[in-house]
Amino acid sequence: MITLVTGATGQVGRRLVPRLLGQRQPGEQVRVLVRDAARAEPFARLGAEVVAGDLRDAEALGKAVAGADAVVNVAAAFRGVPDEEAWAVNRDAAVALGRAALAAGVRRFVQVSTGNVYGTGRGRPLTEDDESRPGGEMWGAYAESKISAERELLALDGEMEVRVGRLPFVYGEGDPHLADVMHWAARWAPAQRLQMAHHADVAQGLLRLLYAPAVNGPVYNIADDAPVTTVELHRLNGVEVPAELYGRTDPDPWFGIMSNQRIRRDLGFRPIYPSVWTARDAGAL
């Protein structure tokens, strides 16, 4: 079995790939598609095959998927990039990869997506059966391009099975994301909550999607058990809580809060770090 991983040098990918390599069985191979081969040297030393090329290049895609049995598409352009880049990477390149994989005989395609595709809250934890409702503070080209990619990939006809893992806010293992979130949290209400997942649990969830012989999905939320409040985020980052923060109200208390019941029930997922406090106490931040 050959598994291709894209986005291997990003925050999620560079923590996922070593775990994938560490779980290889005899005869299994891991291949990574990267723009800069030098950045993939740590993976090569662990035994990965490195293909240098851009996800948006058809020739590179052909080389990357040739002979592969499975693909995990982690590559993404996040908030802060021009809208056209977000669409080019998150939708156009993802769909092109899916089509190339289908043509090459790939049997399973795992698309890494985001909980932002849900849009506005529902007055309860978001489930995989909820439709996308555009809106909310985090809506924009990133979320729009991701939900568009999901729909186009899931509509591909053929023998390839497409599975989607929707991620919340991801943190841990030295990822600066936890500090970066203060850019937004400084404007939130004190009890406003953020759904999270540690990198170890993101990897666990994606590997379950990759290896499970059958799913009821095909879409799964990958999230921990305990969203964290704005006040807690300040404390985790060692930042004093501003007095004016306590005068704010949360317009949507269920915005971004995701249920993990489906992946728990179907695939046996149990968070290694049920909350960010568990990860902090374990020294895994």
Concatenate the DSSP letters of all residues of 47-66 into one string: T-EEEE--TT-HHHHHHHHT
- Give the model's pLDDT for residue 63: 95
Between CA 222 and CA 206 the distance in angstroms is: 8
- Give the model's pLDDT for residue 80: 77
- Give the model's pLDDT for residue 96: 97
- Give the model's pLDDT for residue 135: 86
- Give the model's pLDDT for residue 81: 86
Condensed to tens digits (0 to 9), the pLDDT of residues 203-220 reads: 999 999 999 998 888 999
What does the domain layout of the chain look like in residue ranges? 2-171+197-223+254-272
CATH topology assigned to domain 2-171+197-223+254-272: Rossmann fold (3.40.50)
For 66, other C-beta atoms within 10 Å of its C-beta total 15
Torsion over CA: 22, 25, 27, 30 (sign): negative
Positions of the chain with pLDDT under 50: none
Alpha-carbon distances, residue 20 vs 11, 73, 76, 94, 241 (angstroms): 15, 14, 19, 21, 39
Q: Write out the E strands in the chain.
A: 2-6, 29-34, 49-52, 70-73, 108-114, 161-167, 169-171, 193-194, 196-198, 219-221, 228-229
Contacting residues for 220 by C-beta, under 8 A, at least 6 apart: 128, 163, 164, 165, 166, 205, 209, 262, 263, 266, 267
Condensed to tens digits (0 to 9), the pLDDT of residues 114-166 reads: 999 999 999 999 999 999 999 887 889 999 999 999 999 999 988 899 999 99
Bridge partner residues of 196 (DSSP): 169
- Give the model's pLDDT for residue 137: 78
- Give the model's pLDDT for residue 170: 97
The whole-angstrom distance between residue 36's C-alpha and the CA centroid of its chain comes to 21
- Give the model's pLDDT for residue 240: 93
- Give the model's pLDDT for residue 173: 97
- Give the model's pLDDT for residue 78: 84
